[in-house]
Structure formats: structure tokens, C-alpha cells
Amino acid sequence: MGPQAIAEIARDMATAARLDALANAFLGACIRAPGLLHACLYGMDAAGDALLPLAAAGLPSGELPEIRMDALDDPLVYALVSGQPCLIERLSGLVGVGQAFERLREKIGARQALLVIPLRDTRHQPRAVLALSGSASSLSDWQRDPLWATLTQTHEALFARLHAQTSAADDARYQRSLQSLDAGEKSRTRAARLLAAEFIGVSATAKQVRKDMLRFADSTLAVLLTGETGTGKDHAAWLIHQASPRKGKFVPVNCAAIPQDLIEAELFGNVRGAYTGALQARAGLVAEADGGTLFLDEIGDMPLSLQGTLLRLLNEKKYRPLGASREESSDFRLMCATHQPLAQLIRNGRFREDLYFRIRQLSLSLPPLRERPDDIPALAHHVLLQHNREKQTHVAGIAPDALALLEALLLPGNVRELRSLVLVAAERTPPGRSISAATLDLSRADRDTRQSVGGGSAELHGLLHTNNLPQALDTFQSLVIKTRLRQLDGSRSRAAQSLGIPKRTLARRCQAWNLDREDQTL
């Protein structure tokens, strides 16, 4: 582009008195750069709920979709929220991002690359995004070109100035539109958007969990989250806090990870010289949670001697740092989580019953993935999108055979295990290719074991409602032995040894169940 053309672009931008005129001048210049095909400008509405199309070049601006701000996987929303440019090397690689993005991709073309750049207002807050499409190499060259970098900065500065002139009127219209809503309704709307975007799932179970989390966000009562390892109890607690009106910090404490002789100091802090090594006074996590939420993960591992102190803290909101002579106060909301059966710990004398009833004023059970298999594809695609953005790579998607395999697995580690499987497979997949079943790198024995146990999960569930205990015990033994034989390729000696029973006992039971050696290797 010659000097005269550059001067004309700068002149048109400088003399623009309205946002649409400024955008049209800049966007029209962008698509004249080699390899660039389309350009559009999206701005956040006054409510902060959506991105609205403001102008476009090479695209029919009147047909561009509105994009909701809760669609966090959408590249335009992601760039605005993160405040960082986002380059997608091939739009066909993004799946499950949302209907608005699908409509925009139809206009741009699935084979194109997309570069999204956030634009800031006079308070340096991201307020709009510039989206350019074309070949990946052309967009990279455009982004590195000092000329276009200067023009983009100029456009951003002019955008901020013109936006400041119109934002007062927009804010006034927004405030008038909110007069029909009270503060509680507005807060619940924002909280619902957050939970919908951050707790991934399309199943009826996931929707019910989101509904319960939204209800708990409005409360000040203690919450006990239960569920198997890896179901996302800590994430759910964080979401409830984020959706709540509390302005303080979310302070997590893993009771199983802190040594028992240090957990009281971690929670309540200490004065200087309170114990050996306490060289200075230190505020504890309870003080840090003042005005916010204290999250005690693995509460079942809390020492019995400390449970009484915690109970008093919950009742009086007062505590005494180690070595201190006076009490302090902290206004926090308590959330706890455990994968252990607290009722059994109470019967064994390892957990206080009065504390149990105090921490479970509200309770939320996070279901395992085997009870919501419909959510596995959505979760897997979400993990892959995060991987592509964080690593600035382009794994095209997840092949149907890989999704079918993931849905067939029992996944005892739940969401954590699913995330690990997808991330490892993504690292092993070349850019531009999709994750395949082979890329998941599950051994045959591991795959068979998971699927056989997963296939028997309904049978196991039925055993809990039996009215014939001897028959249920016999069925359970049969299921365990068949599973172990599959895992060990039909070896009766190794199966008997691993189960702690004599080989002749195993052989007798196999004979009773008509389980011959051909059946054992299925």
C-alpha cells in the first residue's frame, strides 16, 4: 500500500465523527490488504450481555448475528474477556461453539482463518472486537506489519474517543431498561449466565445441578458438596461463590494436603513465636475469607481435635490465632466438599455429628459421568477448545470413533480423567488433524476393563434394590471374577491370586457359572 493510500485512510479515520464512519473507513482499508477477505467490528451493548455487529466490510453487516457474552467458547467473546488477540488458523476446527458463531462462520467460510483483536475504551477496558478473516499466513503478516499496527492503534484511540461520546446516552437507555427489574433479578440473570457458561453439560442432570447452584448462590447457608473424585466439586463451589453477591475472595483449603500439626495455624494464623519456626505474625485463611467464601475441601480428613474448634467458629464467627490472647472475627460463608461417606465416618467416631449437621445446611451431590454420558461430548469439545487457545495450536476436532470410545468408558476419575485423556490426545495429534480413537492411547486391556465394568453398571445398580440377598451376592461375585479374567486375558491363576482366593475356588465358581476358557477372554 502506497503512502498516498495510507494518508487517505488516516484522513478518513481522523475526520470520522461517528463510530460507523470510523469503522467503515478502517475495515474497508483492511480488506484491501493482500490475503484478507472479510472484516467486521463488534461492540458490547450497554448491559454487557451481548456483542452487537457495528460495521463490516466484505460481509453483509445487516445479516451478522448477535453474540451472547455467555458464549465463552466463541472466539470473539474469548478475545474480549481475556483482553488478548485470538488467532484461529482454520474455522472448521471449532465445534460446539454456539449457534451465533455457526452463522458467522457460514458468512466467512469454514476454510478461512480468523484473527480477533480486542479494542479498549478510554478506561482501558475491552469494549469491542475487530475480526478479520483470510488465510492464516496473511493474517499473521498483517498482525506483524508495523504500518497496520500503527493504524490499528490509531483506530482504537479514535474508537475510544467516539465511544466515550455515545456511552453516556447508551448508559442512560440501559438504566431506563433496568427500571422494571429489581437488584435481585439482575443479580440472578448474571449468575444464571455464568453458571450456564461454566458448568458444561446438556443433560437433564446437568441442568438440574445448574438450577441448584443458582438457588444456593442466593443463600448465605453453609453448603456441603459430595460426589466421587473428579466430579468437579471444587469448581462447583467456586461457581456458586462467583454467582453469589459476596464481594470477598474465594479461599480454598485442602484439608487432606495440609499436615495435621499445621492445619490450625493455616486456618487461624498465628502471632510471632507461637510455635517453633513462627518468626513473624501471619493472618490465616479464615481471616483472608472475611467477606467471601471459605471452601474446605476433603472435610472428612479434618482432624477430630480441630472439628470442635471449627464448629465454634461457625456458630460464633470468632476464632483465636495461635498464641494470641484475644479473639478475631471473620464474616465468611462456608462451603465444604468430600468424596467420603461422612455418615459412615460418624458411626466410626471419626467425624462429629453436630458438625456434620452444621455444614450440610444445603447439600449438592455432583453426579459421576456414568450417570450423565450425554455430557461427555460437550465436555470433551470444551477441553479441546481450551487446549487450542492456551497452546495456540489447531487440533481440528474429535473424530466420531474417539467420541464413541470416550462415551463407552466408565471413567472412574470422572471429569478430571476425561480432561486428562483429551489433553494427552491433543498433544499427540498433529495440527489440522482430529483426535482419533487410536490417539487416545488406551491399551486393549484398559479399554476392555472399563467397558465391561461400565456395561455392568446397570446390573450393579439393580443389586442395590434386590429382594434376594444370596442371589445378589452370587451375581456380584460373578461380575467381579468375569471382569478380572478379562483384565488378565483369561489367566485363572493370576485372577485368583489378585482376588486373594485359591485357584481351585475360582475354578469351581467358573464351572458353576458355566464360564469356560473361551468366555474368559471376551
Question: What cell was used for 474?
Answer: 452370587
Lowest mean pLDDT among 116-120, 280-284, 308-312, 418-422: 280-284
- The reported pLDDT for the residue numbered 109 is 87
pLDDT tens-digit readout, 207-240: 899 989 999 998 999 999 999 999 999 999 999 9
Task: Give 51's contacts (C-beta < 8 A, 6+ positions apart).
Answer: 42, 43, 44, 45, 66, 67, 68, 69, 76, 77, 80, 129
Per-residue pLDDT tens digits for 402-424: 888 888 888 888 999 999 999 99
* Domain 455-520: assigned CATH number: 1.10.10.60
Distance CA 434, CA 397 (A): 5
Q: What is the dihedral of CA 147, 150, 156, 161, to 10 degrees?
A: -130
Closest CA to 296 of 310, 308, 283: 310
On whether the 3-174 domain is CATH 3.30.450.40, my answer is yes
Whether 289 has a pLDDT exceeding 80, the answer reads yes
- Identify whether the C-beta of residue 69 lies closer than 8 Å to the C-beta of residue 77: yes
Terminal CA-CA length for the chain: 69
Question: Is residue 517's pLDDT more than 50?
Answer: no
> 503-512 and 492-499 helices cross at what angle (nearest 10)?
110
Task: Return the pLDDT at 454.
Answer: 43
Structure confidence at residue 119 as a pLDDT band (50, 70, 90): confident
Domain extents for the chain?
A: 3-174, 188-366, 369-442, 455-520
> Is the pTM higher than 0.75?
no
Altogether, the residues listed in the chain come to a count of 522
- Smallest Cα–Cα separation from 50: which of 74, 72, 66? 66
Q: What is the pLDDT of residues 53-71, one digit of tens each?
A: 888 898 876 788 999 887 7
Span 467-478, average pLDDT: 77
- pLDDT(396) > 50: yes
Q: Taking a C-beta distance cutoff of 8 angstroms, is the pair 360, 222 a contact?
A: yes
Domain boundaries 369-442, CATH class: mainly alpha
Burial class (CB in 10 A: 0-12, 13-18, 19+), 317: middle
Predicted confidence at residue 349, as pLDDT, reads 92
More confident residue, 11 or 228: 228
CA 437/CA 425 separation, integer angstroms: 9
Q: 179: which DSSP letter?
A: T
Q: Quick one: which H or E segment has residue 250?
A: strand 250-254
Supply the DSSP string of 91-106, one letter for each residue.
GGG--SS-HHHHHHHH
pLDDT in tens, 237-267: 999 999 898 889 999 999 888 887 778 888 8
Task: Kindly give the residue spans of alpha helices, DSSP state H, lying in 96-177.
Answer: 99-108, 136-144, 146-177
Q: Residue 305 in 3-state DSSP?
A: helix
User: Given pLDDT bands bounded at 50, 70 and 90, which one contains residue 16?
Assistant: low
Quick one: pLDDT at residue 336? Answer: 96
369-442 and 455-520 have identical folds: no
Quote the pLDDT of residue 332: 93
- With beta carbons less than 8 A apart as the criterion, state whether 44 and 128 touch: yes
Three-state SS letters, 172-221 = HHHHHHCCCCCHHHHHHHHHHHHHHHHCCCCCHHHHHHHHHHHHHHCCCC
- Per-residue pLDDT band at 18 (split at 50, 70, 90): confident
Q: Look-up: residue for cell 445487516?
A: 62
- With a cut of 90, say whether residue 324 has pLDDT above it: no
Residue 144, pLDDT above cutoff 60: yes
Q: What pLDDT is attached to residue 291?
A: 92
pLDDT at 278: 65
Give the amino acid at 478: S
Average pLDDT of every residue of the chain:
80
Residue 230 is predicted with a pLDDT of 92
State the CATH class of domain 188-366: alpha beta
